[in-house]
Each structure stands twice: as structure tokens, then as C-alpha cells.
Structure 1
Amino acid sequence: MLASIVLGAAVGIGCGVVSGLIPGIHANTVAGLLLSLQAILLAWFDPVVIASAMFATLVTHTFLDCVPSTFLGIPDADTSLAVLPAHTLCLEGRGEEAVRISALGSAAGVALSLPLAAAFILALPALQSAIDWGIGLVILAVAGYLIVVSESPGWALAVFAVSGILGLFSLGYAFLAWPAAGESGVLMPLLSGLFGIAVLLKASHGAMPAQDFAGLDLPRSALRRGSLLGSAAGALVGWLPGLSNATANALLTSVVGYDSNPREYILATSAANTVNAFLGLAAFYAIARTRNGVMAAIAAFEEMPPATAVLLAGAIAAVGAYLLTVLLSRAAWRFSGIDIKGLNYAVIAFVVLLSLLLCGPFGGLVLILATAVGYVPSLVNIRRVYCMGAIMVPVMAYSFGLA
């Protein structure tokens, strides 16, 4: 079985590199492709290889998705808020540092995943029904706190509410999108408009500064705090229904400011991203709930692979993904001297084209509306975190049984 695990992990690392580095392609997409080829693959490989490849792809993706968000400023569903401080550091010539901090956060998340998973499996299944309902109250409290302490509570509430309505509209009518990326594919134009194009339109011009790496400017206290907070947030969204990494990003802003502590925030959100993957696996095997497309694909197997085998494949993938992420971070110098305005316009054109290809005209409409909403915070001088209403409001509606 060990050979099957290692082979699956190797295949998953390769697939995760593709999904992590190419915006718009998610590990769920790869899992769906492997599932569609299941009949052919099972003729050559046992289920352990395929399931291990699926989970290894997800783990690898959580490490490498920081690369396009840092250097290009393109967010996906897992890097919606984290893209802001990471891309800012890149514009200051610290892009390699941002990617290395992200990789370190993901590695810390892997180390903390096992004790968190064990604690959750032992303590939470009996309380699951109460937890499912109460999560909406937790998110409502976090949103209320963020709005009250904002620079302008009135504008913060308005942006949160309007983005929330946009989120309900986008997800509620996702069936209008082309099926290329599935109904959840509308998250790509939604979050790219709110946190990608809206930011790039206001970005500075000139040439990209020289990318130099002079070590990690991250105190040990921030490393410990960010790792623990990020892992806790990732465990929360990994276990509970209806939540995502974008929700974890929003929750973390209440304790770690992405503008005041950008490096710690990058570390925390990366830890949350990876822990979410491992806790999603724990929730699947403990309470038979699928938290993402990868778990749904594994659930389709007639012969369920052992949890320990899939977990070991994920741990192997994490080691390989960490080394690859650090290696890719060293390519930061290639961005030195690039015209920022031209790069931003190229990225915007790519996002528009990708939204249309994945979601069709409906994706284009969502992208336009999201960009308009995402542009407001810079006009009224409030933080962009309030655009997370696009994710938080639908999650609250789901938790309260309203959607």
C-alpha cells in the first residue's frame, strides 16, 4: 500500500502545481476530472492511488496558490483577502519574502492539523447539530464587530450589505453560469472583481521594484500567534458546513490586521488554508460530510480508501509542495523592472477572459458588479474586508436556514 500512497502523492503534487499556479483552476476541478476517469484509472490503479492523488492535489494547491496572488494580484476563493498584503509586499520588492512566509504558514498548518483533527473528532460529533446552527451567530458577531470598529461604520455597513446581496445573487443564480467550473465557479469572478480588478485599477504605476530577499521580517511571537490563530480558523471552516477559506480570511481580520500586520496575516491565512484541507478530510471520515469537491469525489468510491493512507499522502505532498514553493519564490527577480501598469492591464484582461470562459455571460455580469462594489472602499477610505459580506452573508443565510 505504501507504493500506492507514494505514487498518488507524486501525481497529486504534479496536479497541484498546475491548479495552484494557474488562476481559475482549483483542486476541485482536478478531482472532478480524475473522478470522471475513474473507470479507466481503476483498471490500472487501486482506489488508494486515486484518492491519494486527489487529496495530495488539494494540499499542494494550498501551498502554491500564493504565487499568482503575490506576483500578479489575482485572488481565488482561498486567497481573497491574503492577496492584498502579499501583492503589496511584492510592490515593495519583498515578493519572495511574502511567498516564503505563506509557505511557512502552510507548513505550520500541517504540523498543527493532526492534534486539531484528533480533538475535533473526539469532541464535536455529538454537538454537531447545535454547532451547525450556531456558526451563523458567530459570523454575525464577527461582522458586527468589524463594522463597529471601522473607520466609517455607515459606509462599512453599506459595503458589507451590498456585497452580501451580490453574494446571494451570484450563488443563488449560479445555475445561469456555464458548467465548465461548476456552480461554485462563480466565486472566481465574484472574488476577482471585489479583491482583484478593483485593486489593480487603483494600483500604482511605474516599474516593478527589484525583488530582493533579506530574510523573513517576522518575529517569533508573530510566528507562533499567526500559526495558532490561522490553524484555529482553518479547523473551524474545515469542520463546519457552508464555510470556506474566504470565511477564515474574514474571521482572522478581527484579530490580525492585514494592513497593520501584513506578514502575520499572510502566515495566518496560509495556515488556515492548509488546515482546512486536513480538517475537511477528518470531517469526511468522522461524520460523513463532504466539505469540498475533493471530499465529494472521494466519497464516490465504492471501496473507501483508509483514512490513514490518504492522510499520509497529504503529508508527503506537503513536504514536496513546501520545497517547490520556496524554489518558485526564488524566481521573484524575474518581475524586477516590469511595467506595473502594463502587467495590471494584462492581468485584468486575463481575468475577464477566464471569467467568460468558465462562467459565460453570467460570469461577466458578476465580474462587472463585483468590480463596481470592490471599488467603493478606496473611494470612501475604508478597508476592503467589508466586501467579504459576499461570502459571510450567504453563509449566515445558509446557517439560519434562509437559503
Structure 2
Amino acid sequence: MLASIVLGTVVGIGCGAVSGLVPGIHANTVAGVLLSLQALLLAWFDPVFIASAMFSTLVTHTFLDNVPGTFLGIPDADTSLAVLPAHALCLEGRGEEAVRISALGSAAGVAFSLPLGLAFVLFLPALQPAIDWGIGLVILAVAGYLIVVSESPGWALAVFAVSGLLGLFSLGYSFLAWPTGGESGVLMPLLSGLFGIAVLLHASHGAMPEQRFSGIALPAGALRRGSLLGSAAGALVGWLPGLSSATANALLTSVVGYDSNPREYILATSAANTVNAFLGLAAFYAIARTRSGVMAAIGALEELPPATAILLAGALAAIGAYLLTIRLSSMAAWFSGVNTTLLNHAVIVFVALLSLFLCGPFGVLVLLLATAVGYVPTLVNVRRVYCMGAIMVPVMVYSFGLA
């Protein structure tokens, strides 16, 4: 069994590197491909290998998905808000620092996942009915708080509501999209428009400053606080149904400002992203609920491997992914002196073509609408976090049984 775990982990790290570094490809997509090849793979390997590869892909993805966001400004579905401070640091010549902070946050998330997962498995299954009922209220309370403390509550509410309607429209009519991107493929143009293209259109022009790394400017107190807050948020969305790392990003803005504390926010969101993966595994084995496409794919295997085997694969993948992320952080030097105007235009064209490829004309429509909505916060001077209504409103509607 150990050989299957190690080999599956190596394959998963390779697959996770591809899904994390290539915008538009998610670990869920890779898991679906592996599941479709199950009959072929079982002729050579056992289910432990396949499950280890699937979960290792997910864990590796959580380490690397902030890299394209940092250097190119293209958000992943799980790192939408985290892209803003990470790309801003890159524009200050600190791209490598941003990636290293992200890797550190994910590593901290792995450390906190084990005790959190054990505590949740022991105590939460009995409380699950009450927890399911209260999800929407938690999201509503957080959204209300963010709006009330806004510089302009009226505009904040308007942006939140309009982006929420756009999220309901995009997800409700996702059947109009091409199946290339999978069931959640429409999230790519939705979040790329709100947090990617809308930002790039307003971004500064000129040459990218020289990228230098002189250490991580993150005090010990911020490191501890960001790790704890991010792990708590990741545990919350990892266990509760209907929530995602994008929701954790929004929850964290109520206690850690991505504009006032960018480094701590990157750390916290990265920790949340990785904890979400591990707690999703705990929820799957404890209460038989799938929190991601990867967990659904593991559940569809002919034979369900023991949780300890998959957990070991995830831990090994985290070590490999951390080292790989640190190595890739040196890519920052490649962007020194690059014309940011041309780079931004190239990224916009790439995202538009990717949206067309993944979702067809419907994806392009969603991208255009999302870009228009995402540009409003810049015009009315409110924080872009209120665009997270695109994720939070559908979650509330689902929780309250309205859809």
C-alpha cells in the first residue's frame, strides 16, 4: 500500500502543478479525468493509487494556484480576493515574497488541519442538522457587517446585490455553457471578470519594477494570527455544505483587510484554501458528504481506500508542493522590466479566449457582465470585496432553500 501512496502522490503533485499553474484548469477537472480512466488504471494499480493521486492533486493545487494570480493577475476560483494584494506586491517588485507568503500560509494550514479535522470528526456530526440550517445566517451576518462598516454603505449594498444577481444568473443558467469547463466552469469567467480583467483595465502602466526578494516582511504576531484565522475560516467552509475557499476569502476580510494588511491576508487565505481541502476529506469520511469534485470522484471509486492512506498522501504532497512553490517563486525575476500594458492586454485576451473555450458564448457573456460589475467599485470608491456577492448570495439562496 505504501508504494501505491507514494506513486500516487508523485503523480498528483505533477497533475496539481499543471492545474495550479494553468488558469482555467481545476483539481476537480483532473480528478474527473482520473475517474474516467479508472477501468484502465485499475488494470495496473489499486484504488489507493488513484485516490492518492486525486487528493494529492487537490493539495498541490492549493499551494500553486496563487502563482498565476500573483504574476499575471488572473484569479483562480479559490483565490479571487487574494489576487488583489498578491498582484499589488508584484507591481511593487515583491512578487517572490507574495508567493513565498502564500506557500507559508498553505504549510501552516496543513499543520492546523490535523487537529481541526480530528476535533470536527469527533464532535460535529451530531450537530450537523443545526449547522446546515445556520449557514445562510452566518453568511448573511458577515455580508451585513461588511456593508455596514463600508465607506459608502449604499454603494457597497448595490455592488453586493448586483454581483449577487449576476452570480445567481451565471450559476442558474450554467447549462447554457459548453461542458468543456465542467459543472463549475462558469466560475472562471465570473470571477475573472470581477477580480481579474476589471482590475487589469484600471492597472498602472509602464514597466514592471525589478523583482527582488529581501525576506518576508511579516511580523511573528501577524504570522500566528493569519495562520489561525485562515485555518478557522478554511475549516468552516471545508465542513459546511455549499461553501468554498472563495467564501472564506470574503469571511476573512471582516477581520483582516486585504488592502491594509496584504501580507497577512495572503497568508490567511492560503491557509484557508489548504485547510478547506483537508477538512473536505474529513467531512467525506465522517458524514459521507462531498465538498468538492475531488471528494465526489474519490467516492465514485469501485473501492473506497482507508482515510489514513489518503491523508498520508496529502501530507506528502504538501511537502513536495511547498518545495515546488518556493522554487517557482524565483519566476518573479522573469517579469522585471516587462511592459505591464502589453502584459495586461495579453492576459485580457487570454482570459477571453479561455472563457470562450471553456464555456462558449455564454462564458464570454458572463465575462463581459462580470467585468462591467467589477469596474464599479473603482468608480464609486468602495472595496472590491463586495463583488463577492456573486458567491455569497447563491450560497445564502441555497441554504435558505429558495433554489
Shared fold (TM-score greater than 0.5)? yes
Q: How many Å apart are 1:302 and its aligned residue? A: 2.0
Q: Distance in 2 between matches of 1:181 and 1:125?
A: 33
Q: Deviations over 1:102-152 (max 9, x none)?
A: 000000000000000001011110110110110110110000000000010
- Structure 1 residue runs of 4+, over 2 Å off? none
- Are the counterparts in 2 of residues 171 and 183 from structure 1 also a CA contact under 8 Å? no
**Residue of structure 2 in register with 1:201 after alignment:** 201
**Residue of structure 2 in register with 1:54 after alignment:** 54
Alignment map for 1:48-197 (pairs within 5 Å): 48-197=48-197
Q: Deviations over 1:319-344 (max 9, x none)?
A: 00000000000121110000000000
Alignment map for 1:11-50 (pairs within 5 Å): 11-50=11-50
Q: How many Å apart are 1:183 and its aligned residue? A: 2.2
**Residue of structure 1 in register with 2:380 after alignment:** 380
**Residue of structure 1 in register with 2:263 after alignment:** 263
Q: Distance in 1 between matches of 2:246 and 2:203?
A: 22
Q: Distance in 1 between matches of 2:301 and 2:96?
A: 40
Q: How many residues end up aligned between the 2 structures?
A: 403
Q: Distance in 1 between matches of 2:266 and 2:106?
A: 10
Structure 2 gaps of 5+ residues are none
2:154 partner letter:
G
| Paired residue secondary structure (1:183) | coil
Q: Distance in 1 between matches of 2:392 and 2:235?
A: 17
| Paired residue secondary structure (1:60) | helix
Q: Distance in 1 between matches of 2:183 and 2:270?
A: 25
1:390 aligns with 2:390: yes
- Are the counterparts in 2 of residues 160 and 386 from structure 1 also a CA contact under 8 Å? yes
TM-score normalised by length of structure 2: 1.00
**Residue of structure 1 in register with 2:339 after alignment:** 339
- Are the counterparts in 2 of residues 100 and 329 from structure 1 also a CA contact under 8 Å? yes
1:90 partner letter:
C
Q: Distance in 1 between matches of 2:342 and 2:380?
A: 27
Q: Distance in 1 between matches of 2:180 and 2:289?
A: 25
Q: Deviations over 1:32-80 (max 9, x none)?
A: 0000100000000000000000000000000001110000000011110
TM-score normalised by length of structure 1: 1.00
Q: Deviations over 1:73-107 (max 9, x none)?
A: 00011110000000000000000000000000000
Deviates more, 1:346-355 or 1:175-184: 175-184
> Once the two structures are aligned, what percentage of the paired residues are identical?
86
Structure 1 gaps of 5+ residues are none
1:132 partner letter:
D
Q: Distance in 2 between matches of 1:184 and 1:132?
A: 22
- Are the counterparts in 1 of residues 66 and 76 from structure 2 also a CA contact under 8 Å? no
2:232 partner letter:
A
- Are the counterparts in 2 of residues 52 and 313 from structure 1 also a CA contact under 8 Å? yes
1:359 partner letter:
C
1:213 partner letter:
F
Q: Distance in 2 between matches of 1:217 and 1:311?
A: 32
1:379 partner letter:
L
Q: Distance in 2 between matches of 1:231 and 1:148?
A: 26
- Are the counterparts in 2 of residues 64 and 321 from structure 1 also a CA contact under 8 Å? yes
- Are the counterparts in 2 of residues 58 and 277 from structure 1 also a CA contact under 8 Å? yes
Q: Distance in 1 between matches of 2:352 and 2:139?
A: 31
- Are the counterparts in 2 of residues 177 and 183 from structure 1 also a CA contact under 8 Å? no
| Paired residue secondary structure (1:258) | coil
| Paired residue secondary structure (2:228) | helix
- The CA RMSD over aligned residues, in Å, is 0.4
**Residue of structure 1 in register with 2:307 after alignment:** 307
Q: Distance in 1 between matches of 2:219 and 2:383?
A: 25
Q: Distance in 1 between matches of 2:133 and 2:175?
A: 26
Q: Distance in 2 between matches of 1:121 and 1:306?
A: 15
1:258 partner letter:
Y
Q: Distance in 1 between matches of 2:17 and 2:106?
A: 15
| Paired residue secondary structure (1:184) | coil
Q: Distance in 2 between matches of 1:97 and 1:342?
A: 24
Q: Distance in 1 between matches of 2:374 and 2:348?
A: 14
1:289 partner letter:
R
Q: Distance in 1 between matches of 2:336 and 2:301?
A: 47
- Are the counterparts in 1 of residues 47 and 302 from structure 2 also a CA contact under 8 Å? no
1:193 partner letter:
G
